[in-house]
Structure 1
Amino acid sequence: MNPNKALWEKGDFTRLAETMRRSGSELVATLGIKKGMDVLDLGCGDGTTAIPEAKLGANVQGVDIASNLVEAGNRRVKEEGLTNISFREGDATDLHDIADESFDLVVSIFGAMFAPKPLDVAKEMFRVTRRGGKIVMGNWIPGDPTLVAQILRVSSAYTPAPPEGFISPMLWGVEKEVTERFVAAGASKENISFSRETFTFEGPFSTTDFLARFRDYYGPTMNAFEAAEMNGKAADLERELAALFNSQNQSGDKNTTSIPATFLKVTMIR
């Protein structure tokens, strides 16, 4: 079993994606999508950005490594009555069944950053983008004080050390690393730009319930709790994350969650 596939099929990321819909749509609205554009949404999950892309008139192909998320995405497409979008399984490190220069826009928001072999990811994203087309990534930033970077930091303290040769996905949030990867794939340095943006997680429930979604449905956090349980430290992990969630909630209502998280937006012109 592919370890990355196993990680993202382990839980049910749709339970977190439900809290990301508004920010996903707002981000898509900034991408300059026009009717008839061919868009690849890589690491698409159940369609937080892919479905808004299709609603703007693009022809969208969603690709994700997790079969359960592909199934959930295709269900959402059917419910929405969309005919210009489909989801299928695929690996961001090897898009062998996609021809060169197939897409006007390649989007990956908190998706491809988690695939292993980042140089292969950059190469494949560059390869399938048409000349004059664009790649847009949203990547979490290492050491950032906001929610997701801190969840991953806290969780890592409770899990075993990664295997030798492991490359942290958080390096996709470092401008120098991103530039080197895309330049190695064939991009011109001057065609790569960066900005720091905000993605907000929100829902009509308490931060306790929101934390439960991470604990029960988000693969990396599930692994952290399993490891902490084995070491008798699950309660410590729960307390540390609860303090984080409570401190970052900006809703002003204990029964509502609204937590912003900063990410690095990468834009590359092919």
Structure 2
Amino acid sequence: MNPNKALWEQGDFTRIAATMRDSGRAFVATLDILPGQEILDLGCGDGTTALPAAECGANVLGVDIAGNLVAAGNARAAAAGLTRLRFQEGDASDLAGIADDRFDMVLSMFGAMFAPRPFDVAAEMVRVTRPGGRIVMGNWIPGDATLVAQVLRISAAYTPPPLEGFVSPVSWGVEINARDRFTAAGIKPDAITCEPTVWTFHHPGPPADLLDLFRRYYGPTMNAYTAAQLAGRADDLHRELLALFEQQNRGDADDTIVHATFLKVTARKDRA
């Protein structure tokens, strides 16, 4: 199986996504989506941003490599009566079957960044965007002091070294990398903007409960706990992560609110 597919199908990211719904809706509200626009949400999960985009009246296609998340997204769309929204499986590195110049916007919040071959990912996003359209990515920033970057850093320290040739997903959170990848795909340098932006996780329970969701349902953290258990270091990993979640909490002891900084990358494709 594709290792990226295996990573995201082993857990149930819908449980994490439930803590991100308000941020997804708020972020979509900043995008000025118009009724009738064609939008691709790439690495969409179960629709944290795809659903609110469809509620704006856009025609939205959600693509994710994890079959369980595609099924969950289609179920959410049906329950909400959103006939303009559908989900299908696909790989951000190779959007086979999707026509050139199809979408007014390609959106990817913490999704396409995890796909292998980042230059191929950028090229595919540019290919399927219509002239005059835009690409909007949200990417976690390596070394950032906020939650997700630190979860990924700590998890990586407890897992075996990656295979040769592996490119870290958080490399997308470095501005020069994002610029290089999109310019290589044909985007003009002055058509690319990058800005740090804040995402919020909200869980109606203590920080330990939010950590438990990450431990049980978030692929990178699941892998870290498995490796740490085999190495006899599971308690060390848990203590380190629990301290992080408690330190990052901006709510109270029974209502966890955690902010995480990401790099918002916008790339505009030239009109023909």
In which range does the TM-score fall when normalised by the shorter chain? over 0.9
Provide runs of 4+ in structure 1 moved above 4 Å.
none
How far, CA to CA, are the matches of 2:203 and 2:244 in structure 1?
17
Secondary structure of the 2:4 match is helix
Matched, 1:153 2:145: no
1:217 CA displacement: 0.5
Q: List gaps (5 residues or longer) in structure 2.
A: none
Alignment match, 1:100: 100
How far, CA to CA, are the matches of 1:21 and 1:208 in structure 2?
20
1:206 CA displacement: 0.9
How far, CA to CA, are the matches of 2:37 and 2:81 in structure 1?
19
How far, CA to CA, are the matches of 2:204 and 2:183 in structure 1?
43
Q: How many residues align?
A: 269
How far, CA to CA, are the matches of 2:32 and 2:22 in structure 1?
17
Deviations 1:55-95 (A, max 9, x none): 00000000000000000000100110111000000000000
How far, CA to CA, are the matches of 2:55 and 2:240 in structure 1?
40
Deviations 1:87-135 (A, max 9, x none): 0000000002001000000000000000000000000000000000000
Secondary structure of the 1:166 match is coil
How far, CA to CA, are the matches of 2:259 and 2:193 in structure 1?
22
1:174 CA displacement: 0.5
Alignment match, 1:19: 19
How far, CA to CA, are the matches of 1:87 and 1:99 in structure 2?
16
Alignment match, 2:54: 54
Q: CA RMSD in A?
A: 0.4
| Aligned amino acid, residue 146 of structure 2 | T
How far, CA to CA, are the matches of 1:65 and 1:155 in structure 2?
22
How far, CA to CA, are the matches of 1:106 and 1:54 in structure 2?
13
1:203 CA displacement: 1.6
Alignment match, 1:255: 254
Question: If the length of structure 1 is used for normalisation, what is the TM-score?
Answer: 0.99
Alignment match, 1:265: 264
How far, CA to CA, are the matches of 1:14 and 1:183 in structure 2?
34
How far, CA to CA, are the matches of 2:200 and 2:190 in structure 1?
30
Alignment match, 2:72: 72
1:186 CA displacement: 0.8
How far, CA to CA, are the matches of 1:188 and 1:74 in structure 2?
36
Alignment match, 2:42: 42
How far, CA to CA, are the matches of 1:117 and 1:255 in structure 2?
41
How far, CA to CA, are the matches of 2:84 and 2:52 in structure 1?
11
How far, CA to CA, are the matches of 2:85 and 2:232 in structure 1?
46
Secondary structure of the 2:158 match is coil
| Aligned amino acid, residue 12 of structure 1 | D
Secondary structure of the 2:253 match is coil
How far, CA to CA, are the matches of 1:34 and 1:91 in structure 2?
27
Matched, 1:165 2:185: no
Deviations 1:129-157 (A, max 9, x none): 00000000000000000000000001111
Secondary structure of the 1:122 match is helix
How far, CA to CA, are the matches of 1:151 and 1:95 in structure 2?
29
Alignment match, 1:186: 186
Secondary structure of the 1:157 match is helix
How far, CA to CA, are the matches of 1:82 and 1:163 in structure 2?
41
How far, CA to CA, are the matches of 2:203 and 2:13 in structure 1?
15
1:53 CA displacement: 0.1
Secondary structure of the 1:36 match is coil
Deviations 1:145-204 (A, max 9, x none): 000000000111100001111000111000100110001111101100011110000021
How far, CA to CA, are the matches of 1:21 and 1:111 in structure 2?
15
Secondary structure of the 1:227 match is helix
Alignment of 1:85-234 (within 5 A): 85-234=85-234
Deviations 1:202-242 (A, max 9, x none): 02111111000000000110000000000100000000000
1:244 CA displacement: 0.2
Q: List gaps (5 residues or longer) in structure 1.
A: none
* Fraction of identical pairs, as percent: 62
1:32 CA displacement: 1.1
